[in-house]
Structure 1
């Protein structure tokens, strides 16, 4: 049995720190994007906007302009981190410096950038809302509908990430393979799978767009968040016909795997090897 070295322990601890930071940040992001805004409607707290103030006055308000500037700066900071570290020259430098931890470093810095965005985000309450459902009975029913749809979207997102090889997405699988001397797990995948991973940076585009835009009350700061991240997601989504065909085939094989009886385990294993 191979002995466990200090380097192996360091790699495992680093991957564990990344997993914890991403998990905590993911929970905070769900609360920030979805449930806090919906709960605010249901709880009857102070309004998120001032409909009595016209847009012409609000957009000249120094408080509003300052909040807009801070929020835009935070969004640009996040997108710079998220895109710059994914840029091929920078990616190669990170690979040379961090080695097998390069993916974990990318996920960890993404979690840090998101935490900064959420912590310093400035709600804009001195401007009108784009829409606000306040008439009975929809002031109760529509927030509940939004809550259910957001919950379903996040459940789908979690399911897709699990099917999409979540440990590899976080860089944990790379560390595990390195410690066992198995090499890069991505190189063990088929050429079509590698092609898909190169094109698909965000496998949950539709669901995220839904939770960004579907809210009972839509203030100005939420508009900034939704527009910026929507454009970012759409620009990063570059699937083509071959990728979609491969995804449909993999989805059918996964469904057959889950529906197959225990006697068909050998067939399921053969299907898994072709992924």
Structure 2
């Protein structure tokens, strides 16, 4: 009994520490992707690039090519980690070794890869911007608009993650269910839900696309970041008509649930009027 308690305590501690690390990494990602890029442009003065340098010169600059090579390697590291550990043979092998901590390990390595990417990312400052909003009054208003839309998109992303079972996504529920002897949490979901989650683990493609591309100034390294992650998001999911039909059914059921109290009161009114008329 004591060994079971110690094992459960160790699993819970590991899972909660991983949750803290992933949460901090998520906050750093928001700062890296959105607010740092907008902050450089909030006054209308672009310091991310040098428009006075021609493209023909910039693309032959060794410092520019070196920075792009480093950034490309960091993106490859993240994509390989995120895809390799989700590959079914690797996933099954890790499941046999790690057990309920498999999802925790996946989230930890993902957050670690993101931390490495953000820590060693090389800005390309010796090349012109692909676009830059500098003319008044848009040099002030457009960064504020970008800030507002980025904030809204990140709020939507967090809401979607909560709806899509955030504890299960981070591996907390796997540990909790294992301690209670309930097995894998995904096994308690419907087959359609399991199929949907296997095709699209975190449905935030549109919102991430907005925060990746909507900026007052787009530098060369940001183009590489936005292009690589957008392509990866587009190729990673495999939704089909069956998943769409399931989502439509779930949406209709939620809408009916929200409309039920109002509908009930409307339906009750004619019955009451009919009863009063009969009594008269």
Q: TM-score normalised to the size of structure 1?
A: 0.91
Q: In the superposition, relative to structure 1, how do residues 117 and 191 fare at CA in structure 2: closer, same or farther (>3 Å)?
A: same
Please list the CA deviations of residues 233-265 of structure 1 after superposition, one character each: whole Å capped at 9, or x if unmatched.
00012111111121122233345556665xx9x
Aligned to 2:242: 242
Distance in 2 (CA, whole Å) between partners of 1:117 and 1:20 is 19
Distance in 1 (CA, whole Å) between partners of 2:38 and 2:147 is 7
1:223 paired with 2:223, answer yes
Distance in 2 (CA, whole Å) between partners of 1:135 and 1:230 is 29
Q: In the superposition, relative to structure 1, how do residues 155 and 255 fare at CA in structure 2: closer, same or farther (>3 Å)?
A: farther
Aligned to 2:129: 129
Distance in 1 (CA, whole Å) between partners of 2:249 and 2:28 is 34
Q: In the superposition, relative to structure 1, how do residues 101 and 255 fare at CA in structure 2: closer, same or farther (>3 Å)?
A: farther
Please list the CA deviations of residues 54-76 of structure 1 after superposition, one character each: whole Å capped at 9, or x if unmatched.
11100110110110000000000
> Any conservation in 2 of the 1:51–1:128 contact (CA below 8 Å)?
yes
How many residues align? The count is 262
1:78 paired with 2:78, answer yes
Distance in 2 (CA, whole Å) between partners of 1:259 and 1:249 is 15
1:107 paired with 2:141, answer no
> Any conservation in 2 of the 1:201–1:236 contact (CA below 8 Å)?
no
Aligned to 1:95: 95
Aligned to 1:166: 166
Which structure is larger by alpha-carbon Rg, 1 or 2? 2
SS at match of 2:15: helix
CA displacement at 1:18 relative to structure 2: 1.4
SS at match of 1:60: coil
Please list the CA deviations of residues 114-152 of structure 1 after superposition, one character each: whole Å capped at 9, or x if unmatched.
000000000000000000000000001111111111111
1:186 paired with 2:160, answer no
Aligned to 1:251: 251
Q: TM-score normalised to the size of structure 2?
A: 0.89
CA displacement at 1:194 relative to structure 2: 0.8
Q: In the superposition, relative to structure 1, how do residues 2 and 188 fare at CA in structure 2: closer, same or farther (>3 Å)?
A: farther
1:57 paired with 2:57, answer yes
Distance in 2 (CA, whole Å) between partners of 1:23 and 1:258 is 31
1:175 paired with 2:140, answer no
SS at match of 1:41: coil
> Any conservation in 1 of the 2:49–2:127 contact (CA below 8 Å)?
yes
> Any conservation in 2 of the 1:202–1:237 contact (CA below 8 Å)?
no
> Any conservation in 1 of the 2:44–2:139 contact (CA below 8 Å)?
no
Distance in 2 (CA, whole Å) between partners of 1:248 and 1:3 is 47
Distance in 2 (CA, whole Å) between partners of 1:72 and 1:145 is 30
RMSD: 1.9
Distance in 2 (CA, whole Å) between partners of 1:192 and 1:225 is 34
Aligned to 1:138: 138
Structure 1 spans left out of the alignment, 5+ residues: 265-275
